[in-house]
Amino acid sequence: MQPDGPYRFTHVLGGCQVGKAWAAIDGQGRLVTVAVLDATVAANQTWREAFTATANALAQTPGGQQFAYADFGADAPWVAYPAEVGPGAEKLFRALGQDYQPVQGTIAGPSPAPGPAAPVSVPQQQVSAPPQPVSGAPQISAPPYAPWALHGDPIPVQPISAAPHPVSGAGSGSGGAIPAADTASPPDTPGPSTDVTTVDPFAAPVRRIQPSPPPQRRTGLWVGTAAVALAVALATGATVWAVVGDDAPAGPQTLPTTAGTTAFPTSPAVNPGLKPWAQAAPYSPEERALAIAAPSMVFVEAVFTGTLREAKSNVPLSVTPVTFKRRCSGFVVNPDGHMVTNGQCVRPSADAARERALYTLGRILIEQKKLAATGLDEYVRTKLSTTVFTGAEPGSEPTSQVFSQFNVARGDLTASPAIPGQVVRVLDPDAGNLALVKLTQPNLPAVELASGGAPGPGAALLVMGYRTTDADFRAATYTVESKPAQVAGTANQGSVSVSRLNDDVGIYSTGGVALDTAGRVVGVLDNDRAANGGANRALVPVAVVTGLLADAGTASSLADTDGVYRDGLDAFFAGRNGDAIASFDRVASASPVNLLAQAYRQNAVDRARLAGESGGVSRLPLALLAGLGGALLVGLVVLVVVLIRRRPRY
């Protein structure tokens, strides 16, 4: 049976005593060779460790053999090598000291259907007995008599009988007499003679056997043969051209349809904000990870309204309420509309809220020409310790609202498509600095949480969050951005051990996510208190998210629509355009907020159209090959006829 693994195994390339080498195709259609250690052999820990150590040693050797993926913990451990590096699987088995034997007569390419694994050794073809000699072939028993090649005295020879015996076994034909083969009966030995004659070496030799005249050239035969071959070639090619032309479709190939509508959309192209194919290598695991998680990303805007008062007298600093806003990122964790974001973003501490309100009031005073722009920081510093930020009444809490947007977001938006939310639970900054918000709209695309511990130093991740390039942040446009990042180390922020990253995607990415290559969340982005400028490079482990959900009586989960969307991505990255289009159609109708599903649907449609335009086989090469085959067949028939006519007759 075929081995387990993330590949489509096509056929066996060879094998040895401990395993087999397979040809396979990964999820992106790239060819790989996979070395698979037999499960029975892998049950011996010594063999398993030797297999693992050898593969790692070859990969770490300068100029050595790098593998693409491996699973050394499987029942049948395997190592996959890109096809372009050569026979990687074979090299691994030979490095293990095994007598690797390739499969004889293996045909490259996928097999028609999966089935039992092909045997490693192929029996050699039996060689037929050597052909029998052609009867009547002339045999030469001695070099011809050449008197001009002699020197010295004349050589006495045996006297020749007056009536020599005829040569037995001689054949007749147009070429004259032919000596018999050595296997023919020898002639009678002539009797003794008393006469001795001498031969003059300079006398003209007399030929006893006259050569036959050269055969006449069959010019007419070959001209006729060429004419027949050309006619057959033209006739065969024309026939194939006509047949293929009748069977070929007259127009472009019809694409799959869903619900009776064509697969070509009539609406303009959608803009999901994040385009995974532009932020990662096309058809790579990174693109797929971004495509899985991006629809769940949320732009969060929290609006706070209150009054700044003198702490001792409760006298307002302004007769009008002060409103300020905080913006960050978040992500949906279940179909009920629960979203996780940054705690200080949606519910800042009293000191942080008061500072932000003072900066907002200071900018209003600058616009009213009551405060110089250079004095803003000093104004906030002097008022910070003597004021409080309250609600409409002294001692009351300021009011707050939370709004969320998907895909491309715009600041200062409280109406649709902004979705209101209610803060459910908030963790203190020293306990993880996370918040759980319940959005009023259900059936939103969700992301999966990874299991296990926090990523260690050196782990490669994808960080993702909202950012803007507009100068005026208040009414700016925000889109999801991603970057590759690595874990540079760990640190403690309060009671939580966080991972420290080497890069971030901007100040509004707090509450964003870090992903593994499967598109699962492994941590939440937070402000790194130890970093200069407070960049969002601290990664709160996903275990804190799980605990926050459990305390609120909920959990992370995916809806059926999320599963259909992932099925569509699987089909798209496997090249099955029809299946991808059908799945993305279902997602678009069930979850309209997932614009990335509509974008990938359009990509599948475009790719299918290109395949339909360029996938038709040209009739000209097929007709030429058919004509050539017909000409070769005629030539073969003529050759056989000529050989038969040339055979001697006895």
Q: pLDDT tens-digit profile of 499-526?
A: 999 999 999 999 999 999 999 999 999 9
Partners of 32 in beta bridges: 24, 82
Say if residue 399 is in the same domain as residue 502: yes
CA geometry: angle 211, 215, 217, nearest 5 deg: 155
Comparing 57-71, 98-112, 296-310, 579-593, the range with the smallest average pLDDT is 98-112
- pLDDT at position 272 is 92
392 lies in the same domain as 297: yes
> Which of 208, 206, 196 lies closest to 158 in space, CA to CA?
196
Query: And the tokens for 247?
Result: 């069977």
Domain-located, residue 49: yes
Same domain for 469 and 543, yes or no, is yes
Q: Identify which of 41, 22, 17 has the alpha carbon closest to the alpha carbon of residue 89.
A: 22
Rounded mean pLDDT, 627-636: 69
Listed in sequence order, the residues at least 6 apart from 301 whose beta carbon sits closer than 8 Å to its beta carbon are 325, 326, 327, 402, 403, 404, 405, 409, 411, 412, 413, 418
Q: By C-alpha distance, which of 333, 272, 342 is closest to 600?
A: 272
Instruction: Check pLDDT > 90 for residue 16.
Output: yes
Asked if residue 616 is part of any domain, the answer here is no
pLDDT band at 364 (very low <50, low <70, confident <90, very high): very high
Residues 377 and 305 placed together within one structural domain of the fold: yes
A 10 A CB-CB count for 91 gives: 20
First to last CA, the chain: 61
pLDDT of residue 225: 64
pLDDT band at 375 (very low <50, low <70, confident <90, very high): very high
Contacts of 312 (CB under 8 A, 6+ apart): 386
The CATH number of whichever domain residue 60 belongs to comes to 3.30.200.20
In a domain, 160, yes or no: no
Instruction: For 58-69, write each residue's pLDDT tens digit.
Output: 888 877 788 888
Q: Each residue of 430-450: pLDDT tens digit?
A: 999 999 999 999 999 999 999
pLDDT at position 622 is 60
633 lies in some domain = no
- Residue 258's pLDDT is 38
500 burial level (CB within 10 Å; 0-12, 13-18, 19+): middle
Domain that holds residue 564: 559-611
DSSP 96-152: TT---EEPTTPPPS--SS--SPPPS--PPPPPPPPPPPPTT-----SPPP-GGG--S
Task: Select from 55, 80, 102 the last residue of a domain.
Answer: 102
| Cα 562 from Cα 556, distance rounded (Å) | 13
Most confident of 106-120, 153-167, 279-293: 279-293
How many whole angstroms separate alpha carbon 310 and alpha carbon 623?
A: 94
For residue 26, give the amino acid letter.
D
Say what the pLDDT of residue 648 is.
57
Is 591 found in the same domain as 538? no
Specify whether 427 is located in the same domain as 508.
Answer: yes
Instruction: Give residue for tokens 């259909």.
Output: 564
Q: Is the pLDDT of residue 210 over 70?
A: no
**pLDDT tens for each residue of 90-131:** 998 898 989 889 987 544 443 333 433 333 333 333 333 333
- Mean pLDDT of the region 581-593: 95
The CATH number linked to 444 is 2.40.10.120
Q: With cut-offs at 50, 70 and 90, classify the pLDDT of residue 229.
A: low
pTM for the whole thing? 0.57
Question: Considering the domain boundaries, does residue 167 fall inside one?
Answer: no
Query: pLDDT at position 73, please?
Result: 87
**Residue-wise DSSP of 261-303:** B-SS--SPPP--S--HHHHS-TTSHHHHHHHHHGGGEEEEEEE
- Residue 120 within a domain: no
Q: Using 50, 70 and 90 to split pLDDT, how confident is the model at 416?
A: very high
Q: Are residues 409 and 530 both part of a single domain?
A: yes
pLDDT in tens, 535-555: 999 999 999 999 999 999 999
Q: Decide: 307 and 391 in contact? Cβ < 8 Å.
A: yes
In the prediction, which pLDDT does 471 show? Answer: 85
Tell me: do 317 and 451 sit in the same domain.
yes
- How buried is residue 359: exposed, middle or buried, by Cβ count under 10 Å (0-12/13-18/19+)? middle
pLDDT band at residue 203, thresholds of 50, 70 and 90? very low
419-426 and 399-405 as β-strands: parallel, antiparallel, unpaired?
Answer: antiparallel
pLDDT at residue 453 in the model: 81
Same domain, 452 and 502: yes
Last residue of a domain, one of 596, 611, 626: 611
Q: What is the pLDDT of residue 301?
A: 97
**Distances, alpha carbon 306 to alpha carbons 353, 354, 356, in Å:** 10, 10, 11
Burial (0-12, 13-18, 19+ Cβ within 10 Å), 135: exposed
Tell me whether residue 260 is in a domain. Answer: no
CA dist., res. 105 & res. 88, Å (int): 19
Which domain-ending residue is among 58, 83, 102? Answer: 102
Residues 571 and 543 in one domain: no
Number of domains in the chain: 3
- Domain membership flag for residue 274: no
pLDDT of residue 233: 65
Q: Tell me the C-alpha distance between 338 and 422, whole Å.
A: 10
pLDDT digits (tens, 9 = 90+) for 167-188: 333 333 334 333 333 333 344 4
> Within this chain, do residues 534 and 569 fall inside the same structural domain, yes or no?
no
pLDDT tens track for 551-580: 999 999 999 999 999 999 999 999 999 999
Region 17-37: mean pLDDT is 89
Question: Looking at the structure, do residues 340 and 489 belong to the same domain, yes or no?
Answer: yes
- Which of 70-74, 84-88, 117-121, 598-602 shows the lowest per-residue confidence on average (mean pLDDT)? 117-121
